[in-house]
Amino acid sequence: MADVPDSSDCPHCASDGRRQITATRLGRGGSASMRLLDATARSASEPTVVSGPAPGARRTPQKVTTNPLHRKLPRP
């Protein structure tokens, strides 16, 4: 890092270009990273609403006990 020059020549225009340290390119509009960040931020104010269980999901029936001692327990 100490041997890196402060500037170098631009390969396109041959002018002097200053070296800058920037953040990663997460802000690119169409990238998967940007879509994930947008969806995460949007879920805070606009959560997805479902109308029922997922298709194909089965509801397990309540298990019925035949133990007579369980009749004395309070029911929910």
Mean pLDDT of the chain: 81
pLDDT digits (tens, 9 = 90+) for 43-71: 999 888 888 877 887 777 778 888 999 98
Higher pLDDT, 18 or 44: 44
Phi-psi region of 8 (alpha: psi -120 to 50; beta: other; left: phi over 0): beta
pTM of the model: 0.34
3-state helix, strand, coil in the chain (%, to 5): 25, 10, 65
Band (pLDDT 50/70/90 cuts) for residue 25 is low
Residue pair 38/23 in contact (Cβ under 8 Å)? The answer is no
Instruction: Report the share of the chain in percent with pLDDT over 70.
Output: 92
Determine how β-strand 16-18 pairs with β-strand 7-9.
antiparallel
Q: Which of 14, 39, 17, 37 is nearest to 27 (CA)?
A: 37
